Chains A and B, each alone.
Chain A
């Protein structure tokens, strides 16, 4: 009996890491965009296009790596589109992001219906049990028996922190997000920095999509993300624009989803609709009461105009 409970707990925790992965990719990427001052609300659309391209690439070539590369290129293309509209043409970022999301939703569905038609599964990434670490009782199963995209996502947390906080380029990004006019005076190319950050974020969002379609559910369907991209944007606020905070948020969402799925499997009759609501309610509560807001990049959501306000 106890053994069964323990096995369930281990399975749920392992699943929560897997389910946190798409959020991690998307939110870490979005963090770069926001730290440079650009709110990219189009993450959901980018994820969908990335998910489809990864799925289609894997389906047609049989190689997950082709799928991953495709998702990154697709993300880059979407990021460029967002950059042109929001950075160069200085459009209101909240609205252009909605446009990008709608576009990604429509485009991925269109491509799916025309090129694939029916729901098919692909041979996605398989879990790899790491040597030695994977043999640790329980912990090995939770942390070290995951698919490669999961490991990479968690590695990206310290890497993103290091890049942002400890490298000259990271300093540039933060300066552009805090005070673009001052950065500009010092010779920093604000536009270029924002382009790079938005595109980097979009590539991450493409990977987030891929981590859904070829490393988690191993299929594509219309609106596969079901709004996960919007949650990813909120997680950046939730996490106070810091990788560690984002990690916490992603794990929270991953765990809640994992518990829910498990409850459905076990047929536990708690009105699951309310359980699904919880993370969203919690996000609003955190956004409202957390002191994190003070960490918001000062120039977030403000197009930069040389000599302007």
Chain B
């Protein structure tokens, strides 16, 4: 494909010109979170709980102690990885709902690989296990990607279906081929895999905590994703496809190909999250390995403005919310489901608030629509 494809001015990355617009873009997600927390507080009050105490316990639990912060970082790691994938997919106007399944595929194949090649030394086994996780997740993203590209199948539906398929696949694997043989001989058919060989475990950064080296992998990949999306031709085309598929097509970009690619990469990053959960946290494959990260990762990426670097602080905040929710449940007996409801509201409020950002950019006629708004608003009618 010809390099130096000329794109309409609408696809420029115009930063720093419309100051008020920039402020608005940054502030809207914060306002959305504040509004969601406010609604949560009202729900708590209606249910007869003290919102101040509940949120106090939440904040204290997430950020108030070393142990809290380490747990927050442990949860931030998969959120960041999934969120990075969501950034790539949503930037291409591809709605990836399939991160749950992609995490599972990554986790299952990472487990299988680490067990099958248990004689390998750690310096070789760790990176190859992570790569296997990436490949497995990428495959799970590639299938809906290619179906969308070649057959025009709506990726929202296929990714949802593939989540269910992945879940059953994992159920089969941890009760069948990957079941812990020690447990079987002991007569307890626990649905979990054998413990992984110790040399594949990621180093614990602080003793007596779960904080592991996976956070560095996630941070490094955040920078790689940023460079990829903003400093390479392929990344540029992915964003162009999302901003304006018609203009991109006229400019000679093969839109379906880049949409499939973005979904594949998104799946790969979610797969890495799955692999790292297995070798960093549990050291074996267990039921519920995704912990819903596939969905909370969407919230994280949206909050981060669908920007890889913005997703870093976002993952810390939402990791904290998840950790704090557990603490809140234990200490003031407010169910952690409250946080799930709040996460849902944050998604609703963030996508709704794009309305004002879009209106503003239309009014000022400053060529680039907000990247997030455009990525979200440039819906794919052909589904």
CA distance A105 to B342 in the complex (A): 10
User: What 0/1 pattern do residues 258 to 287 of B give for CB contact below 8 A with A?
Assistant: 000000000000000000000000000000
Question: A85-109: which residues lie under 8 A (CB-CB) from chain B?
Answer: 85, 89-96, 98-107, 109
Q: Tell me the A44-78 residues at the B interface (CB within 8 Å).
A: 45
Query: CA separation between A58 and B302, bound complex, in Å?
Result: 39
The residues in B between 31 and 60 inclusive whose CB is less than 8 angstroms from any CB of A are 43, 47-49
| Interface residue B335 (Cβ < 8 Å from any Cβ of A) | yes
- Distance, CA A244 to CA B13, complexed state (A): 48
Cα separation A237 to B346 with both chains bound (whole Å):
28
B168 touches A273 (CB 8 A): yes
How many angstroms between the C-alpha atoms of A102 and B151 in the bound complex? 30
How many chain A residues touch B (CB < 8 A): the figure is 57
* Chain A residues near B339 (CB-CB < 8 A): 106
Which A residues from 273 to 309 make CB contacts under 8 A with B?
Answer: 273-274, 276-277, 280-281, 283-284, 287-289, 293, 296, 298-303
* A259 interfacial by beta-carbon distance below 8 Å: no
Residues of chain B with a CB closer than 8 A to A241's CB: none
Q: Chain B residues with Cβ under 8 A from A99's Cβ?
A: 344-348, 351
- A283 vs B144: C-alpha distance when bound (angstroms): 13
Is the C-beta of B211 less than 8 angstroms from some C-beta in chain A?
A: no
Task: State whether A110 touches B341 (Cβ < 8 A).
Answer: yes
Contact of B376 (CB < 8 Å), options: A45, A91, A100, A288: A91
Query: B169, B352, B358: which has the most chain A beta carbons within 10 Å?
Result: B352
A239 to B106, alpha carbons, bound, how many Å? 33
| Contact, CB under 8 Å: B335 / A109 | yes
> CB-CB < 8 A to A277: which residues of B?
164-165, 168-169
Q: B223-238 CB contact bits vs A (8 Å, 1 = yes)? A: 0000000000000000
With A and B bound together, what is the CA distance between A113 and B47 in angstroms? 11
A230 within 8 A of B: yes
The residue that A103 contacts in the complex, of B95, B345, B355, with Cβ under 8 A, is B345
**B140: min CB distance to chain A, Å:** 12
A155 interface residue (CB < 8 Å to B): no
Let me know if A92 and B344 touch, CB within 8 A. no
| A300 touches which of B95, B335, B383 (Cβ 8 Å) | B383
B352 partner residues in chain A, CB cutoff 8 A: 84-85, 89, 91, 96
Q: Does any Cβ of B come within 8 Å of A267's Cβ?
A: no
Pairwise interchain contact A103-B154, C-beta atoms closer than 8 A: no
Task: Given A90-B355, A110-B43, A110-B341, verify A288-B168 contact (CB < 8 Å).
Answer: no
Q: In chain B between 122 and 175, which residues have their CB closer than 8 angstroms to a CB of chain A?
A: 147, 151-154, 156-158, 160-165, 168-169, 171-172, 175
A90 to chain B: closest residue by CB: B355
Q: Is B340 close to A, CB under 8 A?
A: yes
Would B343 and A280 count as touching, CB distance under 8 A? no
Closest residue on chain B to residue A103 by CB atoms: B344
Cβ-based interface call for A200 (8 A): no
A106 in contact with B158 (CB, 8 Å):
no
CA distance A231 to B343 in the complex (A): 22
| Apart from A91-B352, A110-B341, A273-B171, 16 more pairs, CB < 8 Å | A85-B348, A91-B351, A93-B379, A95-B95, A95-B298, A96-B351, A101-B344, A102-B343, A106-B337, A106-B339, A110-B338, A222-B337, A273-B175, A283-B157, A284-B147, A284-B153
24 contacts between A and B (CB under 8 A): A41-B97, A41-B156, A45-B344, A91-B348, A91-B355, A95-B347, A96-B348, A103-B344, A103-B348, A107-B43, A107-B341, A110-B43, A233-B160, A271-B172, A271-B176, A274-B168, A276-B164, A280-B165, A283-B157, A284-B153, A287-B147, A287-B153, A293-B152, A298-B381
Closest 4 CB pairs of A and B: A103-B344, A99-B347, A106-B341, A106-B340
